[in-house]
Amino acid sequence: MALAAALSSAGCSTRANAELQPAQASFAERASAQATDIKARPRKDGGFTVNGRLEGDHFAMAVPARWNGKVLVFAHGYSAPGSSIAVSEDPADKDPSGGLMKGAYAQGFAIAHSDFDKAGIGVESAVENTLRLRAFLGRMGVSEAYVAGGSMGGNIVMAIIETRPDAFNGALSGCGLVDNWTDEVGLLIDLRALYAYYTRGTPYALPGNVDLNRSALSPIAPNAIGALNEPFRLLQMKRIADPIAALFKAARKTPDGREAQIINKIASITGVTPEPASLIVPIMTVALGMDDMNATFGGGVYDSSTKVYASPLLSAEEAAALNRDIGRVSATPSAVAYADRWRRSTGRFSVPLVAIHNRIDSLVPYSQFEGLIRKTEAAGNADRLLAITVPEITMPLTGTGLEGLAHCGFTPGQLGAAFDALQAWTTTGRRPTPAMPIAAQAR
């Protein structure tokens, strides 16, 4: 806290916008002894940023002018294979958390994040790099730190608090994959398989490889041409999204037609909501990411070889034909074991955990949230989990002309309320009942 006080008083100087204050420069000098490539820059608000590398991996943090001595460390979610792994150099400016980090910074928290070793599925390296960042912060004198993550970042949070209960004072998961990978990957594969079955030979069929064990399209530009990677990936995403969007547009024109029946059958079999994002987002994720998933896990983690697909919307003949002809996949035991390590949650953790989830999410289903709740109750650990459900929201689906249910559809106010609840809990030792703001529809 003495360091925080020194930095806080230094931040009052009028020179803050021109150069680092003495205490800030001292912090940067000390950081240089603990990490490499340290670069510290002043912020216009009197705070400063620190960027550097820990064993080669980039990290960034923003420290407010009136720092309270505490830190919020954030683990980001899934990104398509081939995406840049670089994190924002100023997380208070370009916030990857949907407003959580900016809100914490405004409260006096330093905020920090680290890149992962790879895009796509990256839980193992993310846990290692996030804990390495926490260790660095500890060497810099930070004694109180919180960890938060969204989507895949929620899975990272679970792995950290269940395996390293000493690292953080409390944790926050938003829209997190907080139960297990097998169910999530299985849902994505089932959606792709069912979509392929029902659109075979139609204008709505997906492009590319039809083998469910492979990506339909590569999200990585040929010969890994760096400058072209991002536009190439966006083009491949559009190629997957366009036929699905066209199916929904046709269904809206003819509500009782073939297209609407296809959508309703897929939704009925899988349990997803029959709306655009709940097909486009998961199918796009697996159609561009299957190769990375299998490479990372070391094989398949989901087995549909004997699964019986059923729906009250199907006649006996239709169900028989579907189960005879649909594409299927098999699991590799070693891959399942790896996915369970990184990470099938156990519900056993010893720090307060606040988890927030939309009642309907287009990518990570509410069943992941329910699974965590069941596990903590079975482990006799329910008093360490505060589970918050907020209503779903819709938002435009870029490039499709459609709207759909959001993945991680939270407002900054809702995330802030969840973080406030976590702070109150760790301060008082009593689990609070937060008042959650109602989300407005995203536009």
pLDDT tens track for 19-47? 899 999 999 999 999 999 999 999 999 99
Q: What is the pLDDT of residue 438?
A: 73
And the tokens for 53? 């590398």
Average pLDDT, the chain: 94
Q: Comparing 57 with 442, which gets the higher pLDDT?
A: 57
Tokens 């409390």 map to which residue? Answer: 170
Q: Give strand pairing partners of 54.
A: 57
Asked if the model's pLDDT at residue 13 lies above 50, the reply is no
Residue of 181, 218, 194, 182 whose CA lies nearest to 328 = 194
d(CA 2, CA 357): 37
And the tokens for 37? 């490539």
d(CA 299, CA 291): 9
pLDDT tier, 10 (very low <50, low <70, confident <90, very high otherwise): very low
Q: What is the pLDDT of residue 52?
A: 98
Tell me the pLDDT tens digit for each residue of 126-171: 999 999 999 999 999 999 999 999 999 999 999 999 999 999 999 9
And the tokens for 363? 């990518």
What CATH superfamily is the domain 2-180+345-428? Alpha/Beta hydrolase fold, catalytic domain (3.40.50.1820)
* Dihedral, 423, 424, 425, 429 alpha carbons, nearest 10: 120
Which amino acid type is present at position 334?
S
And the tokens for 128? 């290692």
Q: Where are the domains of the chain?
A: 2-180+345-428, 181-338
Asked if the model's pLDDT at residue 14 lies above 70, the reply is no
d(CA 116, CA 364): 21
And the tokens for 396? 């435009």
Tell me the pLDDT tens digit for each residue of 225-247: 666 788 999 999 999 999 999 99
Tell me the pLDDT tens digit for each residue of 317-342: 999 999 999 999 999 999 999 999 99
Q: What is the pLDDT of residue 7?
A: 60
Burial 183-195 (b: 16+ CB within 10 A, else e): bbbbbbbbbbbbb
Residue of 269, 219, 276 whose CA lies nearest to 247 = 276
Strands 144-150 and 110-114: unpaired
d(CA 441, CA 411): 10
d(CA 242, CA 302): 27
